[in-house]
Amino acid sequence: GENVEQHPSTLSVQEGDSAVIKCTYSDSASNYFPWYKQELGKRPQLIIDIRSNVGEKKDQRIAVTLNKTAKHFSLHITETQPEDSAVYFCAASKIAGTASKLTFGTGTRLQVTL
Amino acid sequence: DTGVSQNPRHKITKRGQNVTFRCDPISEHNRLYWYRQTLGQGPEFLTYFQNEAQLEKSRLLSDRFSAERPKGSFSTLEIQRTEQGDSAMYLCASSPAGYGYTFGSGTRLTVV
């Protein structure tokens, strides 16, 4: 089955700096890669996703890049703000027909300091 | 219908008791997933429904766990003879076609 590794496990940046979180996946058939943000005691919320036919996607201050050859994808947050502090999870899935199970990474705790 | 609803939010039970959780997905979503999350870990897949059909179940899932989705609407997850290791947050998510899961707020189970 799919295995997703995520690094780093914790990340501390100063407000205004950029943050990068990296994930690798094992199943070359995976074709969908979402990122979720989870604040303490709350539900995971989708912040951005990318499909395998695209190399990069951007939404305001967040962007995701995908390297299918190397089987890794990354989340980039620019101009970080205190409200970006949370745990971020990457995930991978092979979506085909009825198959659509997400496999999650272990999470990155991002702390944005003033 | 503003999101995925899960009940109860918290459940404390004694070891050996049975518990049942409910999930009401977004009404237009035909896919429904159950995940389990322990402290400091990512959500771990348990099982998945497309409409009323249970299409996949994790190999890690004990026979004490069972899930249903009658009529393809809400779903229930039952855990029989609970153990302390079952203590976790149980998350439900729904999706229209496998993309863009929307998660519920979860049910936190504590087995004492």
A22: helix, strand or coil: strand
pLDDT value at residue A49: 97
**Residue A54: is its pLDDT beyond 80?**
yes
Instruction: Suggest the residue from A36, A52, A57, A100 to mutate for an interface test with chain B (most B CBs closer than 10 A).
Output: A100
Asked if B45's CB is within 8 angstroms of A93's CB, the reply is no
Asked if B102's CB is within 8 angstroms of A107's CB, the reply is no
**Shortest Cα–Cα distance, B28 to chain A (Å):** 17
pLDDT value at residue B62: 87
pLDDT value at residue B7: 98
Of A4, A6, A102, the CB nearest to B101: A102
pLDDT value at residue B54: 94
**Shortest Cα–Cα distance, B2 to chain A (Å):** 14
pLDDT value at residue A51: 95
Q: What is the mean pLDDT of residues B54-82?
A: 93
Of B40, B42, B106, the CB nearest to A43: B106
pLDDT value at residue A97: 81
d(C-alpha B30, C-alpha B95), whole Å: 7
Asked if A98's CB is within 8 angstroms of B50's CB, the reply is yes
Out of A23-27, A107-111, B88-92, B96-100, pick the least confident.
B96-100
**Is residue A85 within 8 Å of A42, Cβ to Cβ?**
no
A73: helix, strand or coil: strand
d(C-alpha A106, C-alpha A63), whole Å: 20
3-state secondary structure chain B: CCCCEEECCEEEECCCCCEEEEEECCCCCCEEEEEEECCCCCCEEEEEEECCEEEEECCCCCCCEEEECHHHCCEEEEECCCCHHHCEEEEEEEECCCCCCEECCCEEEEEC
Measured in residues, chain A has a length of 114
pLDDT value at residue A99: 80
* B19-28 tens-digit pLDDT: 999 999 999 9
Asked if B99's CB is within 8 angstroms of A32's CB, the reply is yes
What value does the mean pLDDT of chain A take? 96
* A61-96 tens-digit pLDDT: 999 999 999 999 999 999 999 999 999 999 999 998
Closest chain A residue to B91, measured at CA: A43
- On chain A, the residues whose CB falls within 8 A of the CB of B51 are none
**Residue B1: is its pLDDT beyond 60?**
no
d(C-alpha A28, C-alpha B110), whole Å: 38
pLDDT value at residue B106: 97
DSSP A53: T
Asked if B91's CB is within 8 angstroms of A34's CB, the reply is no
